[in-house]
Structure 1
Amino acid sequence: MTVLKCIAVDDEPLALRLVETFIEQTPFLQLTSSCDNAVEAMSVIREKQPDLVFLDINMPNLTGMELARLLQEQPGTTPKIVFTTAYNHYAIEGYRVNAVDYLLKPFSYEEFLRAANKVLELCEETSQLPTVIDDEFIFLKVEYQWIRVSLKDVLYIESLKDYVKVHLVPPQKDLLSLISLKALEEKLPSSKFMRIHRSYIASLDKISAISKNSIFIDKAEITVGEQYKETFKAIVDKWIK
């Protein structure tokens, strides 16, 4: 049975204890640590490398939402996040940082278990990462089968929350796979692919034009994210010098 390592984060002692209790009574969850603030949680997450974080949003100094954004920017695999909060207006913002679910306080064990099961299903779907063969092909899980995709046919890859959409050279149909963009990025050859935005990986040899802040592939214009501009500029400088 798959067991998910969990961390609970909440600045309210009663709320924290409730999440701890729910984790302890769920067979496929293992509580590895509890934190009463997001600053401590950041350090613990780096050390413990949990699969799942139950994360309160409204906390002093560093909010849960700010912590989630920081985790997305860190190298390596980001833990799945389930937000816990007393305020429902954070729901949309939560999905923007790829939270798996959103529990509105006070929540029942049934609601907690439903969110935990969603994470479990997602982790089991992504437990086998795609495999690259000789920098030429990748096996990508699409629905219930593994599809062999030639890397020379990939235009760019787009993140759609828990999925990635692999855009292929027409007339081939684009593929949708239940994995994270970061996990796929780690499997792709860096000589052929580059992360240029938090939501996009580009195939370098498919770039047809470059403007000040964007690249063009096929009919798509993709903005180069601020944190990726310096690395991308180094590649461009090699091309034009």
Structure 2
Amino acid sequence: MSTPIRTLLVDDEPLARSLVRELLADFPRLTIAGECQNGTEALAALQTGAYDVVFLDVQMPDLDGVQVLQRLRAAGLPLPLVVFTTAYDQYAVAAFALHAVDYLLKPLDPDRFAECVRRVQQQLAQRQTQALGADLAALLQAWPNLPSSAPPPEYQDRFVVKQPERQFFVPVADVFYLEATGSGVLLHTARAAHPVRASLSQLAERLNPAQFLRIHRSCVINTSHIVEFKSWTHGEYLFRMTNGQHVTSSRSYNAVIQQFLKRFA
């Protein structure tokens, strides 16, 4: 048996609500779960989140239908599927700006109403599918022992160095360390230091964290090029690289460095 679609009818005219009830009789899955005769009642009812779809009159004596939805959105509350019903077509733009499913003009035409109901059912089915997918993704994230089918992240394997007369690649593996400067970053290799116009944080985000380690606010080192390290003054570390250069860490990065060193304990 299909799950009932909880439906709210909102119109200040009893006759208009009666007509919607009659038209809904041909669609038993849309169960009328509530009726409201003004915008204030509609706002209170929709704040409960108890409805899947609302047939909402636009013009009402206190709050109109558009204002009801605007207040719900301003409060950060979820909206049901919305079908506007009105005798005036000048509200159509505002209605669809609020992502209404449909906009029915009075007097309601049965064939047009049936088309609207089909659209409501299709969109609810899409919402349920999306919600199921989101729930499954959350479950997989919360259960780390489950194998993940997500592809591994792709890390940058080379840098582009731009010079006035040419541009060329520097393989990531050839970089001993990256050093922030006032105008960008220097890529230190065995033969040169190549300037790159980017921030150190931007470049670090593209590098494999299993290989590159940030040891200072202005320095990221390629751990595969570390020859030796030792404790230094004021609780810092001194790293000697394969190119013979020495790089000093900052105490504020000690926790990250110690976590890296645990791999080899």
What is the TM-score of this pair, normalised by structure 1? 0.54
Preserved contact between residue 72 and residue 78 of structure 2 (Cα < 8 Å): no
User: What residue is the counterpart of 2:100 in the other structure?
Assistant: 99
Q: Is the 8 A contact 1:5 1:50 kept in 2?
A: yes
Shift of 1:45: 2.0
Do the aligned partners of residues 115 and 46 (structure 1) sit closer, same or farther apart at CA in structure 2, a change above 3 Å counting? same
Q: Against the structure 1 CA distance between its residues 148 and 120, is the aligned structure 2 distance closer, same or farther, given a 3 Å change threshold?
A: farther
Give the whole-Å Cα distance in 1 for the aligned partners of 2:36 and 2:151. Answer: 43
Tell me the SS of whatever aligns to 1:114.
Answer: helix
Q: Give the aligned residue type for 2:117.
A: A
| Residue 49 (structure 1) shift | 1.3
One-letter amino acid of the structure 2 residue matched with residue 16 of structure 1: R
CA–CA distance in structure 1, aligned partners of residues 17 and 151 of structure 2: 45
Partner of 1:80: 81
Alignment of 1:195-214 (within 5 A): none
Q: Does 1:45 align with 2:52?
A: no
Distance in 2 (CA, whole Å) between partners of 1:24 and 1:60 is: 28
**CA distance 1:72–1:48, shift in 2 (3 Å):** closer
Deviation track 1:140-183 (CA, whole Å, cap 9, x = no partner) reads xxxxxxx969999xxxxxxxxxxxxxxxxxxxxxxxxxxxxxxx
How far 1:25 moved relative to its partner? 3.0
- By how many angstroms is 1:18 displaced? 0.6
Whole-angstrom distance in 2 between the partners of 1:151 and 1:83: 45
Match of 2:141 among 124, 129, 134: 134
Task: Give me the whole-angstrom Cα distance separating, in 2, the residues matched to 1:11 and 1:151.
Answer: 56
Whole-Å Cα distance in 1 between the matches of residues 43 and 21 of structure 2? 18
Q: 2:168: which partner in 1?
A: none
* 2: CA distance, partners of 1:14 / 1:121: 28
For CA contacts below 8 A with separation 6 or more, give which structure has more relative contact order.
Answer: 1
Match of 2:21 in 1: 20
Alignment of 1:216-235 (within 5 A): none
Counterpart residue number, 2:114: 113
CA contact (8 A) 2:47 2:72 kept: no
Q: Tell whether the 8 Å contact from 2:8 to 2:51 is kept in structure 1 after alignment.
A: yes
CA deviation profile, 1:32-74 (whole Å, cap 9, x unmatched):
1111101011112223610000000000110011001122233
User: Identity percentage over the alignment?
Assistant: 31
Q: Larger % of strand: which?
A: 1
1:11 is aligned to: 12
CA gap of 1:151–1:23, structure 2 versus 1, over 3 A, is farther
Q: CA deviation at 1:3?
A: 2.3
User: Partners in 2 of 1:76 and 1:100 — Cα distance?
Assistant: 18
Q: Is the contact between residue 49 and residue 78 of structure 2 (CA under 8 Å) also seen in structure 1?
A: no
1:45 partner letter: L
- Asked if 2 retains the 8 angstrom alpha-carbon contact of 1:72 and 1:97, the reply is no
Correspondence for 1:54: 55
**Is residue 2:33 matched to residue 1:32?**
yes
Shift of 1:27: 1.9
- Structure 1 pair 64/150, CA: closer, same or farther in 2 (3 Å)? farther
- The count of corresponding residues between Structure 1 and Structure 2 is 146
Contact 1:24 1:31 survives alignment (8 Å): no
Task: Check whether the contact 1:80–1:99 (CA below 8 A) recurs between aligned residues.
Answer: yes
Gaps of 5+ in 2: 143-148, 155-200, 203-265
